[in-house]
Amino acid sequence: MTENYNIVIIGGGPAGLSAAVEASKYTDKILVVDENPTPGGQLSKQTHKFFGSKNHYASTRGVNICSTLINSIDKNKVKYMGQTSAVGFYKPDNIVLETEEKLISVKAHKFIFATGAMENMVSFENNDLPGIYGAGAVQTLMNLYGVKPADKVLMIGAGNIGLIVSYQLMQAGVKIAGVVEAAPGIGGYHVHAAKLRRMQVPIYTSHTILGAYGKESVEKAVICEVGSDWQPVSGTEKEINVDTICLAVGLTPSVELLHQAGCGIKYAKELCGYVPLHDKYMETTVPGIFVAGDASGIEEASAAMLEGRMAGLKAAYDIEKFNRSEFINEVEHIEFELKSLRTGPFGEKAASGKKKIFLEER
Amino acid sequence: MRLENHPVLDFKFEEKKQVVFYFEGKELKGYEGEPIAAALHDNGIRLLRKSPKLDRNRGLFCAIGKCSACLMKVNDIPNIKTCIEPLKEGMRVEYQNKKGDLPEVKND
């Protein structure tokens, strides 16, 4: 038996939840599916306060933004299915979901793929040893389930994720042996780096990790300097005793399902990988399939929430054809907010990436 | 170890249901509904499987059901993603053999 929905949203993180909240203002029969038991995605692990303006939930902790979003969902209009994987899209309007050890087929008028991203790996000796985690995994253990993930950590990557997760580890009583960054400077906001430096955490810029060693799991890491040619400088090796190595070396958009559905995909370095082409409403080259959040290029949760709202708004408008001027007002408002996020030294990179994958309106 | 005193988060452990489960036959405790791998970590278990070809140690890596480093045998079913599979009372969690053997089917 095939279930019918107006909108199916794949992914219950900041983008997917925002899409559901926005769309449910205008329409009903919305389904949100996520592989995790509870919705929220990465947002539910963020204990730090967000920046930006009040409209972007500034000075609110991610975890609280998450519960605000979840609480504002009308359960009569939106159904949430956890522990459910979307395994395939069949043209024109059919998606197959794996849930409770069964495959079910679901039809919808519109689809929003808010499938997020996955963490990058970095090559070094024994990089598969237990005790080496993606930064997101460590956040899951400590911030969602209250498990102390380590005693002493070496963080690889001084972008925002590396800096923020290091600080969160310290909040959980974990020692940070240092933060290693191959670039000559810190990639993330200096306010996050300053929090670590105030606690005497060394940040090794122009350094990389050479290897991890230990019998059953990590006992020690070896790092060294990198030259201006990005190659390790021999003779500068340094041993650091840690039981955990945390990788925060960037994210790659998860576009498998969009690719399989036939959406046009293009590489954009600024967006950290292959991403689906989309118009200003977040609609892809396949009519009726929208993308939002990190799956459309790596940015921050604030941008993901706005993109989710845009996709949810347009999907609902296409179904319900509600008041056009109300729709246009709302679109312009979201566009303005997105534009303001994408200005300044950190936002410009995303803005130039988005230009590469921009689809003119049909 | 659990984070009883966190400066920002309150995990409300006292409101959660503690359950017994078995790892390699040994009785352990965890909280119902949390990922199996989180309960194993709390009990100090970080080695979750061996790689199928080269027999290398593997532990939790991505925690979002993508990387396959945490696949284990749960109640005789192999290749369970323990990073996203919720813990239930009485679960039998074991190391799996390489790519995992299918459970025997009993024909009555």
Q: For residue A159, give both structure tokens.
A: 């972008």
Q: Do B62 and A217 touch (CB under 8 A)?
A: no
Strand extents, DSSP E, chain B: 18-23, 26-31, 49-50, 57-58, 71-74, 77-81, 92-94
Check whether A53 has a pLDDT greater than 70.
Answer: no
Whether the pLDDT of residue A52 is over 70: the answer is no
**B108 lies in some domain:** no
Q: Residue A60: its pLDDT value, please?
A: 86
**3-class state of residue A341 by DSSP:** helix
Binary contact (A134, B62; C-beta < 8 A):
yes
- Are the C-beta atoms of residues B55 and B99 closer than 8 Å to each other? no
**Digit-coded pLDDT (tens) for A203-255:** 999 999 999 999 999 999 999 999 999 999 999 999 999 999 999 999 999 99
Vertex B77: Cα angle to B71 and B81 (nearest 5): 25
**Which range is least confidently modeled, A32-46, A300-314, B34-48?**
A32-46
Instruction: Identify the pLDDT of residue A141.
Output: 95
Query: What ipTM was assigned to the predicted interfaces of this complex?
Result: 0.94
Terminal C-alpha separation, chain A: 34
Phi, psi torsion values for A222, nearest 5 degrees: -120, 125
The residue from A194, A221, A247 where one domain ends is A247
Q: Which of B40, B51, B60, B88 to mutate to test the interface with A (most CBs of A within 10 A)?
A: B60
Number of structural domains in chain B: 1
Residue A162: closest CA among A62, A246, A46: A246
A361 found inside a domain: no
Is A20 among the domain residues? yes
Considering the domain architecture, whether residues A110 and A259 belong to the same structural domain is answered as: yes
pLDDT band at A58 (very low <50, low <70, confident <90, very high): confident
10 Å Cβ neighbour count for A215? 8
Q: Is residue B102 part of a domain?
A: no
What span, in angstroms and rounded, lies between the C-alpha atoms of B60 and B55?
Answer: 16
pLDDT digits (tens, 9 = 90+) for A258-296: 999 999 999 999 999 999 999 999 999 999 999 999 999
Helix residue spans in A262-343 (DSSP H) = 301-320, 324-341
In DSSP notation, A140-197 reads: IIIIIS-B---SEEEEE--SHHHHHHHHHHHHTT-EEEEEEESSSS--S-HHHHHHHH
Measured CA to CA in angstroms, residue A9 lies from A14, A286, A298, B59 at distances of 12, 16, 19, 31
**B39 within domain boundaries:** yes
| Domain match, A239 and A131 both | yes
pTM: 0.92
Q: In the structure encoding, which two tokens stand for residue A299, read together?
A: 């940015």
Distance CA A99, CA A81 (A): 8
Residue-wise pLDDT tens digits, A8-39: 999 999 999 999 999 999 999 999 999 988 89
Counted domains in chain A: 2
The DSSP symbol for A209 reads E
**Percent above pLDDT 70 for chain A:** 98
Per CB-CB distance under 8 Å, the chain B contacts of A136 are 62-64
A338 shares a domain with A290: yes
Q: Is the domain of A335 the same as that of A260? A: yes
Max CA pair span of chain A: 69
B61 contact residues in A (CB cutoff 8 A): 132-134, 137
Q: Give me the mean pLDDT over the A155-166 stretch.
A: 96
Choose the final residue of a domain: A196, A225, A247.
Answer: A247
Residues A151 and A229 in one domain: yes
In which element (H, E) is residue A345 found?
A: helix A344-356
Residue A60 resides in a domain: yes
Whether a cis peptide bond, with omega within 30° of 0, leads into A92 is yes
Assess if residue A362 is contained within a domain.
no
Single residue among A247, A263, A296 that ends a domain in this structure: A247
Q: What is the mean pLDDT of residues A48-64?
A: 77
Same domain? For A271 and A126 the reply is: no
> Å from B108 to nearest chain A CA?
23
pLDDT averaged over every residue in chain A: 94
Alpha carbon distance A139, A247 (integer Å): 12
Q: Which domain holds residue A162?
A: 121-247
Question: Which residues of chain A are within 8 Å of residue B31 when distances are taken between CB atoms?
Answer: 145
CATH assignment at residue A169: 3.50.50.60
Both tokens of residue A108?
Answer: 């919808």
Q: Is residue A37 part of a domain?
A: yes
Per-residue pLDDT, A362: 64
**Burial class of residue A257 (count of CB atoms within 10 Å of its CB; 0-12, 13-18, 19+):** buried
**Residues A113 and A132 occupy one common structural domain:** no
Contact B95, B49 (CB under 8 A): yes
* Segment holding A193, helix H or strand E: helix A190-198
User: Left, alpha or beta for A173 (phi > 0: left; psi -120 to 50: alpha)?
Assistant: left
Torsion of the alpha carbons at B90, B95, B100 and B102, rounded to the nearest 10: -30
Domain range enclosing B84: 13-94
A224 is a domain residue: yes
Q: Are residues A164 and A256 in the same domain?
A: no
> What does the pLDDT read at residue A54?
64
Mutant choice from A85, A141, A145 vs B, greatest count of B C-beta within 10 A: A145
Is residue B85 in some structural domain?
A: yes
Adjacency order of strands within the sheet including A132-134: A132-134, A244-247, A152-156, A175-181, A203-205
The pLDDT tens digits for A315-353 are: 999 999 999 999 999 999 999 999 988 987 778 889 999
**Residue A41 and residue A16 in contact, taking contact as beta carbons nearer than 8 Å:** yes
**Residue A144 DSSP label:** I
Interchain CB distance below 8 Å, B63 and A134: yes
Residue A160 within a domain: yes
A177 phi/psi in degrees, rounded to 5: -75, -25
Q: Is residue A72 part of a domain?
A: yes
* B61–A141 CB contact, under 8 Å: no
Share of chain B above pLDDT 70, in %: 99
